[in-house]
Copies of this chain bind each other. A is one copy, B any other.
Amino acid sequence: MNLGRKKIDWVSRFMSLLNRIEEEYSPKQPLKGFRIGMSIHLEAKTAYLAIILKKLGADVVVTGSNPLSTQDDVAEALKEYGLTVYAKRTSDESVYMANIRKVLETRPNLILDDGADLTVTAHTQMPEVLEGLKGVTEETTTGLRRLRALHKSGMLKVPVIAVNDAYTKYLFDNRYGTGQSTLESIMRNTNLSICGKTVVVCGYGWCGKGIAQRAKGLGARVIVTEVDPIKALEAVMEGFQVMPIKEAAKVGDIFITATGNKNVISVEEFLVMKNNAILANAGHFNVEIDIKALEELAVEKYEARPNVTGYVLENGNTLFLLAEGRLVNLAAADGHPVEIMDLSFAIQALSLIYLANNKLEVGVHPVPKEIDEWVARTKLDTLGVKIDHLTFEQKSYLESF
């Protein structure tokens, strides 16, 4: 068995929800007759989702969702399973975008999007694709932000299910998934100690919360930067220091961005950072750290280790950027833990079945509550965890006043 297949085989053991879905739905072939265009970080777990979708009857066409996050061995293996794959690990944005278009050219009936590149490209550049498109599921905070902006501008033409906003997605994937995988990638790629370090987390949304929690759990002193006063206050109450990035820049050893915004760390910060500071991004796009500015500031640039680029500044300090500023957990490691993605992908699969069987209005729709609860209940079941049930008396009490 080649390494790509091994990786897929490995994750299949721990994706118990996808396995339950296969058991339950493959006899019914609910996706028969549907072509699904998928843009995802192509590694073993997403590959396994694609395989399950095929087993439910779909014709699946896959590409990456970020230039650096495709694992080539997995992409190859996926072809062996009979899927169409247009994906290659690359730093070349144009190759990446060409693949996005190739997927769209197959005229998918359903899109599974991660960051919204497929859907936005279809709307802005290939409107002919929209015709046969029954709906979209979107995985990320960033993708939903874009699709809502598209909708607000009046341009959205298809129904979207906001997978990211399901409880069993963002409470787990964004928090525990991003938390563990981001820190693991930083440790793996630098071999540096987290304890004894000052870790600056930019953004205290669900991803930032997870990162801060794990950095603390690994022994760091954590500083949070935020623009939202409510989130900032929450960080204070969790025992983190909160300060503007300009101040944090002077004291941080490791900087991690998870804001969904651009240029969160830029020239002003680079210039006051300590020598050997580490910069990593956990947000969807490689815009959070102002790489262009960093390139311009640097008098020298070199590969310090795989996935670690050193930028020597005029002041003599070297700053180290991980994974070229792309999401460090996917571009320089294996992404979220398997079981966490299993939760998210169960929602994806069930949402696609839901889209296939229902006609929704144009707009951004929440994941149906039943799907959310099925995922939580089934996950507890696979873990062997039992919970309580309301008695009749208790149900009545909750309705009384």
Contacts and interface: CB of A to CB of B under 8 A. Distances in A.
Interface of A: 3, 6-7, 9-11, 13-14, 44-45, 116, 120, 145-147, 149-150, 152-153, 167-168, 171-172, 176-177, 180, 184, 187-188, 190-196, 214, 216-222, 225-230, 232-234, 236-245, 247, 260-264, 276, 287, 303-306, 308, 318, 333-335, 337-340, 372-373, 376-377, 379-380, 383, 385-391, 393-394, 397-401
A376 B233 contact: yes
Interface core residue of A222, A225, A261 (most chain B CB under 10 Å): A261
Contacts of A388: 225-227, 244-245
Nearest to A220: B239
Given A214-B217, A230-B373, A387 B168 contact: no
A262 B195 contact: no
A176 to B, nearest CB: 5
Given A230-B376, A243-B385, 19 more contacts: A14-B276, A45-B191, A116-B401, A168-B233, A176-B219, A177-B193, A180-B219, A192-B337, A192-B338, A193-B339, A196-B339, A219-B237, A219-B238, A221-B240, A228-B387, A229-B377, A230-B373, A243-B386, A261-B394
Contact of A168 (B6, B230, B339, B389): B230
Nearest to A184: B187
Contacts of A401: 116, 120, 146-147, 149-150, 153
Would you list the 5 A-B pairs with minimal beta carbon distance, nearest first?
A217-B217, A193-B337, A229-B376, A146-B401, A149-B401
17 contacts: A6-B305, A7-B305, A10-B305, A167-B230, A172-B233, A184-B187, A217-B219, A218-B218, A219-B239, A221-B241, A222-B239, A226-B388, A229-B373, A229-B379, A232-B380, A233-B380, A263-B394
Contact of A387 (B145, B177, B225): B225
Nearest to A343: B233
Contacts of A9: 304
A191 B221 contact: no
B261 A383 contact: no
A116 to B, nearest CB: 7
B10 A237 contact: no
A388 to B, nearest CB: 5
Nearest to A7: B305
A340 B193 contact: yes
A289 to B, nearest CB: 14
A217 B222 CA distance: 14
Contacts of A337: 187, 191-194
Contacts of A193: 176-177, 180, 337-340
Contact of A393 (B14, B262, B318): B262
A167 to B, nearest CB: 5
Nearest to A340: B193
A44 to B, nearest CB: 8
Nearest to A337: B193
Given A9-B304, A242-B385, A171 B339 contact: no
A184 B188 contact: yes
B398 A237 contact: no
A158 to B, nearest CB: 14
